Amino acid sequence: MNRNEVGGKPSSAKIFSWTSRVYFGDTDAAGVVFHGKYVYWMEAGRIEFLRHIGTPYSQFVAEKIAFMPVSLTINYEHPLRFEDEFRLDVWIIRCGRASFEVGNAFYVGGVRCATGSVTLAVVDKVKWKPCPVPKLFMDAISDWL
């Protein structure tokens, strides 16, 4: 998988990993994880990543800055099921002037279950207009690009 594919994780990418478990309420009538839960977990992993690099999302919220999803893609490979403990890998794919893209991959054991990416626009919450990626964030992710 190359960097341009959905969730493409180059071998040189620095990875943050977050683990969680599938609960019964996360599954659908077919007994597998409801597709929308992957989006929820991608956001949770991203929030934990921001905390890990020393820039908790709450800090940006306090400064009236939002990271708003503008594009989201997920490829499902193997279903997650009730009681699976999964690992979500998170990495930065790119960072532009007013947006950045985050890659994700879900694993159970050594099996990759899904990959995805989300592009987030940086928005001034007072004006509801795009604004530059904060320097604090740029500095924090410099080792992750």
In a domain, 130, yes or no: yes
Rounded Cα–Cα distance for residues 70 and 50 (Å)? 19
pLDDT at position 8 is 59
In a domain, 28, yes or no: yes
Residue range 72-87, pLDDT digits in tens:
999 999 999 999 999 9
Structure token pair of residue 68: 């708003």
pTM (two decimals)? 0.90
In a domain, 2, yes or no: no
How would you classify residue 124: left for phi > 0, otherwise alpha for psi between -120 and 50, otherwise beta?
Answer: beta
What does DSSP assign to residue 31? S
Read off the CATH number of the domain in which 104 is found: 3.10.129.10
In a domain, 9, yes or no: no
User: Any idea which of 2-6, 44-48, 121-125, 134-138 has the lowest mean pLDDT?
Assistant: 2-6
Q: How many domains does the chain have?
A: 1
Domain containing 108: what range?
A: 16-144
